[in-house]
Amino acid sequence: MTDLEKLRERTAELADLECVQMLLGWDQQVMMPSEGAEARSQQLGTVARLNHELARDEQLGRWLDGLDRLDGSGLDGVDADIVRLARRDWERARRVPDELAAELASAGAEGQQRWQQARAADDFSMFAPALERNVTLAREYGALVADDGHTPYEGLLGDYDFGVRADDLRTLFGALADGLLALVEDAERYSPPVTLQVPVPAQEVAVAGTLARLGVDPVGWRVDVSAHPFTAWIGRGDTRVTVRYSDGNVESLLAALHEYGHALYERQIDPALIRTNLGRGTSMSIHESQSKLWENHVARSSPFAELLAAELATAGFAIDPGELYASLTGVQRSLVRVTADALTYPLHIVLRFELELALIEGDLTVADLPGAWSEGVRRLLGLEVPSDALGALQDVHWGAGSFGYFPSYALGCLIAAQLWETLERELGSREEELRRGEGGSIRAWLGERVHRHGRRLDTTELVERETGAPLSIDPFIRYVEPLARPR
Amino acid sequence: MTDLEKLRERTAELADLECVQMLLGWDQQVMMPSEGAEARSQQLGTVARLNHELARDEQLGRWLDGLDRLDGSGLDGVDADIVRLARRDWERARRVPDELAAELASAGAEGQQRWQQARAADDFSMFAPALERNVTLAREYGALVADDGHTPYEGLLGDYDFGVRADDLRTLFGALADGLLALVEDAERYSPPVTLQVPVPAQEVAVAGTLARLGVDPVGWRVDVSAHPFTAWIGRGDTRVTVRYSDGNVESLLAALHEYGHALYERQIDPALIRTNLGRGTSMSIHESQSKLWENHVARSSPFAELLAAELATAGFAIDPGELYASLTGVQRSLVRVTADALTYPLHIVLRFELELALIEGDLTVADLPGAWSEGVRRLLGLEVPSDALGALQDVHWGAGSFGYFPSYALGCLIAAQLWETLERELGSREEELRRGEGGSIRAWLGERVHRHGRRLDTTELVERETGAPLSIDPFIRYVEPLARPR
């Protein structure tokens, strides 16, 4: 076998192991009897360790060196990208000593546990030492994996959105916050929150009907219920989304469309890239852009509300489409990220970005975090934080050792809006198609312009190439502006 | 880390990977969307290859050599057995060159495909070349893994029932066939087959109720439906059995109890052995003895029929317990192994053992197999074989490259009867307990005498030690004899 063949075989094995990890995780959340938890965590640990060993293997480096000596000659586009990404992934993997990898894993596991206990007790001080340890380790890890001229925080970002610069985020998110703050009071006035009482069985019918219209069929998909909605791509032709239901507003439908967006991305990657290191979504923010596109631009659209009202009617729940639309688009500043509306959601992310950047760069101590959180919520959301549980203990991410992940949530909103504007500029308004509950042209456009590339294009490169403009806040501001006008 | 610690860590990894393979297989049969099939087979292939590499790794041999130099000093019983079995497994794994392992895998996969096509066309000649290849490869493999003084067929047996000798099987199965043939005509007369029409919903209630009485709870078990019933032990506290239903007799209940027996075995292994190479059932025939014990001696007992009739009554299906018992114990010679009754079932196995032994030992050519099959069916079952599909194409095993597996089905029947006699000799008749639908004392006895050992005792050693007698056909003959007497 040539070095390239060996490399491709290894990437196929690694891709398989990632699918196996997906399945272990999906099963854990959806199917596993509760007493299997301990064994499952051991199984996940063993597969992750084997995956890591194969990813940082010295042999892989020798194949890459062999290919470097060929100097790219004779490699076609896909193979050249396989080699380029393999070099990047291998370099990043091998810069992390085994001891640090083990310490990161154990600190992340312990941090999650401490976070849970501290949140239940509403006492940040119980969490502080574990967070301190996570910050220190993340800083060390970020410095090791950062490319030359990049900061440790950018090293951390690279695990989720390779190539994104912290200064660019600072500028972008600063302007985003200003733009949203200029709209929020009017939006609260003209798009007030609306509470519905849609029974769960009607929601179930609407979710099943809507997903079926969008191509979710039982031969290639599963739709199950879990405590937190998520998507697992177990392999080509095997995509699994989960939803959850509660009486009230139709958040289940927003969540279902959100997960559908993630799922569709992985399903429409060029088949030629499957079982290579290019055969998955390129970054967290492009992934989030796909979920947000279906959540914000499809599910929260007025024509879609008509369709959804019709679906609910078939389940015996009569509702005016306008009222349904109002419930999907109501704006009100609140303390909680995960239930925030489309307009104020990014403000929660800007807060977290500012704070985690300051923690990693040493401009903020862990002890000062709760105070800084309160100050940020006052500035960005105009609210007072009444407790740690609703403040600095709100999200698990830092407890689990994830720094640099939060930006992708806001970047996803921005990129979704920018892609949607491009799509409608090129294809014309999708209103009629959405009213019919179809999505064929949207799926095809996304497949061609975003999905098929897999990891061949990084975040900013993909956005610029496919929208013809650098990443910008303007399309998102244009998307939320109508909410701040009289309806 | 000491060599022992390294060895134990490796056995833990291997145990985890076996659980992962179990989950991949379970999911494939029970949950996976059909279009995920190709990706799943790739994932299974990758995990199996990694497993094999870790199992035959040279490092493992060096740790074993290091431990050998210690000469067992300081190793307690469990550790000594871990080392003993690790040596055995490693030697067997490393005797097989990678090329042969790959060829066995591909010949097995192709053989299954050819078998399917040939069976659909009812044409043995379509299958013959693939079977020829499987026989040749199996002979080669068996010769490589056989210990000194053992035949290739015994090498093959060793994958399923280590240490069992072909001559012993020949003697045992010869006597078994004679014993059963002496009973079968009377049994057909006095225990004729009875056909019921139990609707599926009633069966579902009875299966769920019966399993719940036996301790199957949702925190540690799953019960699902699949095309073929099977059991998967995904990890400690995570046991999954599947059943299938069809209108008619309550085969679903026999199958459910059969799978319960397999499941209970794995669940009751000494926790100290979990994640070592000792932490699973010791052999196919002991495993089958556990399923057959619950199927033959519990589910096919008269007091259990009373309980089952009561369960069916709660689901609105009234039936006389005597009639139900008669349907569970009816005897009639037939051409099909998987639906055979308790008495004639082992005759099907004796046939397959004789034929596969002759194939491997070169006393029978593949071309002559259909004729030999017909002759054997005439001799053992008194029937004429009308087609290849009901003859030599009946089972997938040889197509998949499995030789030496069949004996465990009959050994399981024999061992189940021998264990059950011992249990009732020691604890007294279990009739009252079975009438109450409980099984606590049976579970406890099996846990103590069979299950907890894991792989520490091989098949014949376990039987002799725990029943006080060598493996014998007598208890099984005594079990079926009443079927040949007027009721």
Q: Which residues of A touch B235 (CB under 8 A)?
A: 36, 38-40, 42-43
- In this prediction, residue B57 has a pLDDT band, given cuts at 50, 70 and 90, of very high
* String of DSSP letters for A164-216: --HHHHHHHHHHHHHHHHHHHHHHHHHS------B-HHHHHHHHHHHHHHTT-
Q: Which residues of B touch A218 (CB under 8 A)?
A: 33
Res B287 pLDDT > 80? yes
| Residue A14, min C-alpha distance to chain B (Å) | 9
Amino acid at A209: G
Instruction: Give the distance from CA A430 to its chain's centroid.
Output: 25
Judge whether B316 and B200 are in contact, CB under 8 Å: no
Q: Does B150 touch chain A (CB under 8 A)?
A: no
Judge whether B93 and B53 are in contact, CB under 8 Å: no
Q: Is A12's CB within 8 Å of B42's CB? A: yes
Res B164 pLDDT > 70? yes
* String of DSSP letters for B83-103: HHHHHHHHHHHHTS-HHHHHH
Per-residue pLDDT tens digits for B92-106: 999 999 899 889 999
Q: Does B58 touch chain A (CB under 8 A)?
A: no
Q: How many CB pairs under 8 A join A and B?
A: 126
Can you give the pLDDT at residue A480?
98
Judge whether B124 and B118 are in contact, CB under 8 Å: yes
Res B270 pLDDT > 70? yes
Judge whether B311 and B203 are in contact, CB under 8 Å: no
Rounded (to 5) percent helix, strand, coil in chain B: 65, 5, 30
Per-residue pLDDT tens digits for B425-472: 999 999 999 998 889 999 999 999 999 999 999 999 999 999 999 999
Res B349 pLDDT > 70? yes
- In this prediction, residue A238 has a pLDDT band, given cuts at 50, 70 and 90, of very high
Q: Which residues of B touch A33 (CB under 8 A)?
A: 218-222, 237-239
- Comparing C-alpha atoms, which of B186, B157, B172 is closest to residue B475? B172
Out of B32, B49, B237, name the one closest to residue A36 (CB): B237
Res B423 pLDDT > 80? yes
% chain B with pLDDT above 70: 99
| Residue A31, min C-alpha distance to chain B (Å) | 8
Q: Is B33's CB within 8 Å of A236's CB? A: no
Can you give the pLDDT at residue A436?
86
Can you give the pLDDT at residue A202?
95
Can you give the pLDDT at residue B69?
84
Which residue in chain A has the smallest CA separation from B10?
A46
Q: Is A179 exposed, middle or buried (0-12, 13-18, 19+ CB in 10 A)?
A: middle
Distance separating alpha carbons of residues B405 and B288, to the nearest angstrom? 11
Per-residue pLDDT tens digits for A76-134: 899 999 999 999 999 999 999 989 998 999 999 999 999 999 999 999 999 999 999 99
| Residue B450, min C-alpha distance to chain A (Å) | 23
Per-residue pLDDT tens digits for B7-26: 999 999 999 999 999 999 99
Q: Which residues of A touch B222 (CB under 8 A)?
A: 31, 33
* Residue A182: partners with Cβ closer than 8 Å, 6 or more residues away: none
* pLDDT average, residue stretch B219-228: 96
- Regarding pTM above 0.90, the answer is yes
Q: Is B42's CB within 8 Å of A16's CB? A: yes
| Residue A242, min C-alpha distance to chain B (Å) | 14
Any idea which of A52-56, A340-344, A404-408 has the lowest mean pLDDT? Answer: A52-56
* pLDDT average, residue stretch B415-433: 97
* pLDDT average, residue stretch A260-276: 97
Distance separating alpha carbons of residues B460 and B464, to the nearest angstrom? 6
Can you give the pLDDT at residue B72?
61
* pLDDT average, residue stretch A443-463: 98
Can you give the pLDDT at residue A1?
86
Q: Which residues of A touch B16 (CB under 8 A)?
A: 42-43, 45-47
Distance separating alpha carbons of residues B245 and B252, to the nearest angstrom? 6
Distance separating alpha carbons of residues B172 and A83, to the nearest angstrom? 61
Q: Are strands A238-243 and B231-235 parallel, antiparallel or unpaired?
A: unpaired
| Residue A443, min C-alpha distance to chain B (Å) | 20
Catalytic residue flag (residue A421)? no
Per-residue pLDDT tens digits for A419-430: 999 999 999 999
Q: Is B12's CB within 8 Å of A222's CB? A: no
* Residue B233: partners with Cβ closer than 8 Å, 6 or more residues away: B19, B22, B239, B240, B263, B266, B267, B280
Judge whether B7 and B64 are in contact, CB under 8 Å: yes
Which residue in chain B has the smallest CA separation from A43?
B16
The residue written with tokens 């690694």 in the block is A14
Q: Is A212 exposed, middle or buried (0-12, 13-18, 19+ CB in 10 A)?
A: middle
Res B1 pLDDT > 70? yes
Can you give the pLDDT at residue A98?
86
Q: Which residues of A touch B38 (CB under 8 A)?
A: 235-237
Q: Is B205 exposed, middle or buried (0-12, 13-18, 19+ CB in 10 A)?
A: middle
Q: Which residue has the higher pLDDT, B46 or A436?
A: B46
Per-residue pLDDT tens digits for B106-163: 999 999 999 999 999 999 999 999 999 999 999 999 999 999 999 999 999 999 999 9
Res B76 pLDDT > 90? no
* pLDDT average, residue stretch A187-213: 95
- In this prediction, residue B39 has a pLDDT band, given cuts at 50, 70 and 90, of very high
Res A74 pLDDT > 90? no
Q: Which residues of A touch B31 (CB under 8 A)?
A: 31, 222
Q: Does A426 touch chain B (CB under 8 A)?
A: no
Judge whether A232 and A22 are in contact, CB under 8 Å: yes
Q: Does B474 touch chain A (CB under 8 A)?
A: no
Amino acid at B350: V
Judge whether A249 and A196 are in contact, CB under 8 Å: yes
Res B372 pLDDT > 80? yes
Distance separating alpha carbons of residues B73 and B89, to the nearest angstrom? 21
Which tokens belong to A44? 């996940």
CA distances from A465 to A127, A422, A458, A461 (A): 43, 11, 11, 6
Interface confidence, given as ipTM, is 0.94
Which residue in chain B has the smallest CA separation from A32?
B238
Q: Which residues of A touch B221 (CB under 8 A)?
A: 33
Distance separating alpha carbons of residues A458 and A81, to the nearest angstrom? 11
Per-residue pLDDT tens digits for A386-412: 999 999 999 999 999 999 999 999 999
Q: Does B57 touch chain A (CB under 8 A)?
A: no
H or E element in which residue B110 lies: helix B98-121
Which residue in chain A has the smallest CA separation from B42?
A16
**Which of the following is catalytic: A251, A259, A288, A295?**
A259
**Which of the following is catalytic: B154, B188, B251, B259?**
B259
What is the CA angle B330-B335-B336, rounded to 5? 75
What is the CA angle A219-A223-A224, rounded to 5? 135
Q: Is B43's CB within 8 Å of A218's CB? A: no
Mean predicted lDDT score pLDDT of chain A: 96
Can you give the pLDDT at residue B119?
96
Q: Does B1 touch chain A (CB under 8 A)?
A: no
Instruction: Give the distance from CA A242 to its chain's centroid.
Output: 15
- Strands (DSSP E) found in B19-103: none
Which tokens belong to B43? 């994932």
Distance separating alpha carbons of residues A342 and B353, to the nearest angstrom? 69
* Count of CB atoms situated within 10 Å of the CB of B146: 19
Q: Is B237's CB within 8 Å of A50's CB? A: no
Give residue B248's region: left, alpha or beta (phi > 0; psi -120 to 50). Answer: left
Q: Which of B34, B46, B225 to mutate to test the interface with A (most CBs of A within 10 A)?
A: B46
Q: Which residues of B touch A45 (CB under 8 A)?
A: 16
Q: Is B33's CB within 8 Å of A221's CB? A: yes
Can you give the pLDDT at residue A72?
61
H or E element in which residue B243 lies: strand B238-243
Distance separating alpha carbons of residues B402 and B400, to the nearest angstrom? 6
Which residue in chain A has the smallest CA separation from B49?
A13
